[in-house]
Amino acid sequence: MSDEQPEPSPARGAATSGGRRPVSVVGVLGEVLLTAGALILLFLGWQLWWNDAIMAGQQSTAASGLSAEWLEEARAARADDAPPAAEDYGDPVVAAASFDNGDPFAIMYVPRFGEDSQRRIAEGVGLDVLNSTELGVGHYPDTQMPGEVGNFAIASHRSAYGGGMHEIEQLRLGDAIYIQTRDGWYTYRFRDLEYVTPETVEVLAPVPHHPDLEPSDRIITLTSCNPLYSTAERIIAYGVLESWQPSTAGAPAEIADIVESWES
Amino acid sequence: MYAALWRVLPGPVWVRIILLLLIAAAVVFALFTWVFPWVDGIVNPIEVTVE
């Protein structure tokens, strides 16, 4: 903004050489308004890119730390027992829904969202969770837990504040959505996207859009805002649980290397 | 406003331009570090949830 200031001045200097130029109210007002416009644009740039990038880094670092902690715990537990038999782990362990608002109890990692897209999932979907430098993804308190029959529903920003679901519209059929908890790893497979109005709470039902039905599937629902840089609508991504493995079995083979790189 | 700032700055044109760039950098730094985070807590929050 200040870069433009030198321009008018030489001309003005030429016009006023020798004399003082009277200060015009309109002129000052114009400069104030131009400055205000520049400041607002600068703020948007800060909010949508600068601060977004900083928070994304903080949130993924925090998620890596928690993930590594759980991995370490699992390794210690495995040292005592024999490694679990591969393949058949039975029904997924479901943690009791006893977390307080703001407690991080899971990690979300979606390879399609790119490198360092791992985020902590905390209980609650208030701004204290979604706009946090350590959390970023929130769990709708009245929905099910990871691996539970029904709907594990989470929310995150699409843009700004670390944008935990920035690339949500990039999801393709069958994309993995990994959820890590202290108990283990839940692999969901993306099924479809939906675009709804912000009031459409039925997407959070155990059977989305059918609050009266008994659930039989274990699904995950991601909600974020749509279109990008707007909050007019919500974008919803559904996935279905494919497999589960306890934490003592380590991370799923496809992402084991990536998860290990988080530990450093 | 800006004309007055230009008159106050000392030196030849190139010195003034460098000074202006330094001032602009300082202003942007202050905005990014203190002002914008503060404004961010005041303006309407960005809603992403269904409710």
Domain containing A227 — which CATH number? 2.40.260.10
**pLDDT given at position A9:** 47
Query: What band does A239 get if pLDDT is binned at 50, 70 and 90?
Result: very high
pLDDT digits (tens, 9 = 90+) for A167-178: 999 999 999 999
Q: Which helix (H) or strand (E) holds A30?
A: helix A25-45
Q: Do A46 and B45 touch (CB under 8 A)?
A: no
Q: Distances from the Cα of A6 to the Cαs of A12, A16, A123, in angstroms?
A: 10, 15, 53
User: What total of structural domains would you count in chain A?
Assistant: 1
pLDDT digits (tens, 9 = 90+) for B2-49: 888 999 999 999 999 999 999 999 999 999 999 999 999 888 788 888
Query: What band does A217 get if pLDDT is binned at 50, 70 and 90?
Result: very high
In a domain, A256, yes or no: yes
Distance, in angstroms, between A253 CA and closest chain B CA?
Answer: 33
As a whole number, mean pLDDT of residues A221-241 equals 94
**pLDDT given at position A81:** 63
Q: Is A261 left (phi over 0), alpha (psi -120 to 50) or beta?
A: alpha
Q: Do A42 and B31 touch (CB under 8 A)?
A: yes
Query: What band does A263 get if pLDDT is binned at 50, 70 and 90?
Result: confident
In a domain, A22, yes or no: no
Q: Do A5 and B37 touch (CB under 8 A)?
A: no
As a whole number, mean pLDDT of residues A93-105 equals 92
| Residues of B in Cβ contact (< 8 Å) with A39 | 31
Query: What band does A77 get if pLDDT is binned at 50, 70 and 90?
Result: confident
Q: Is the pLDDT of residue A12 over 50?
A: no
Q: Do B31 and A39 touch (CB under 8 A)?
A: yes
| Residues of A in Cβ contact (< 8 Å) with B3 | 8-9, 12, 21
In a domain, A218, yes or no: yes
In a domain, A169, yes or no: yes
pTM for the model: 0.86
In a domain, A97, yes or no: yes
**pLDDT given at position A179:** 97
Which residues, including other chains, have CB under 8 Å from residue A49's CB and lie 6 or more apart?
none
**pLDDT given at position A20:** 61
| Residues of A in Cβ contact (< 8 Å) with B51 | 198-199, 201
Type of residue numbered A191: R
In a domain, A37, yes or no: no
Burial of A105 (0-12, 13-18, 19+ CB in 10 A): buried
User: Containing domain of residue A108, as a range?
Assistant: 50-262
In a domain, A2, yes or no: no
Query: What band does A22 get if pLDDT is binned at 50, 70 and 90?
Result: confident
Nearest to A255, CA basis, from A93, A110, A89, A68: A110
In a domain, A15, yes or no: no
Q: Half-sphere exposure (CA, 13 Å, Cβ side) for A68?
A: 13
